[in-house]
Amino acid sequence: MLNKYARAFFTRVLTPFAAFLLRRGVSPDAVTLIGTAGVMAGALVFFPRGEFFWGTIVITLFVFSDLVDGNMARQAGISSRWGAFLDSTLDRVADGAIFGGFALWYAGTGDNNMLCAVAIFCLASGQVVSYTKARGESIGLPVAVNGLIERAERLVISLVAAGLAGLETFGVPGIGILLPIALWIVAVGSAITLAQRVVTVRRESAEADAAAAAAAQESETA
């Protein structure tokens, strides 16, 4: 849901900036690569040290590249399968870095094996949720379900919580608990979303197989 409405809003807001980059000769692929590098740096440099506020600031500055590169490609009329592939692939890399950063914190100074495991589950389940849709579509199914928590929700919930939790280092007491709560929400929501997509693919595949069998039978009797 967030992906649908937030993407439309920020696309309108960022259109002038995308046009500015095109006029300066910047390519959409370059924006994709720089954005991913920035997100990875914010997550893997700051999060493992517990600097959640500054890490979130850095990530937020670069995460909008996911909207800017596509906007640039559409404005320039150069949308391509390669661009879509690169964007989707690097999205997975960026997501992995974010939750990997959380896992490194809890495996180290954060000293909480349970939350380290939850962060790793968030990382893995997010990748699998994306894979189920891509794999279903690759075998000709519509996968007509979004699910409870998609990529936009995972990022917003985890990054907002991380940014607020980082305020604890500025003297705001008790706010650090928000990050563990957010990770549990993302983990449970991702598991539910995965189940929703698996059930949908099973139903759609059964319907497609039944339709194909009926069409084959009809052609034999014709």
State the catalytic residues. Answer: 91
The answer to whether the Cα torsion of 147, 129, 62, 44 is positive or negative is positive
- The structure tokens listed for 214 are 């009926």
Please indicate if the annotation marks 74 as binding a ligand: yes
Q: Are 149 and 193 in contact (CB under 8 A)?
A: yes
Beta carbons within 8 Å of 142's beta carbon, 6+ residues apart: 136, 204
- Residue of 7, 114, 115, 98 lying closest to 44 (CA atoms): 98
The answer to whether the Cα torsion of 129, 134, 135, 140 is positive or negative is positive
Please indicate if the annotation marks 8 as binding a ligand: no
Please indicate if the annotation marks 95 as binding a ligand: no
Please indicate if the annotation marks 69 as binding a ligand: yes
| Cα distance between residue 40 and residue 57, in whole Å | 13
Residue 171: CB atoms within 10 A of its CB come to: 7
The pair phi, psi for residue 149, each rounded to 5°, is -130, 110
Torsion angle of C-alpha atoms 150, 153, 154, 160, degrees rounded to 10:
170
Through-space distance between the first and last CA atoms of the chain, rounded to whole angstroms = 46
Please indicate if the annotation marks 80 as binding a ligand: yes
Binding residues: 29-32, 66, 69-70, 74, 80, 87, 91
Binding residues for a CDP-1,2-diacyl-sn-glycerol: 29-32, 70, 74, 80
Binding residues for Mg(2+): 66, 69, 87, 91
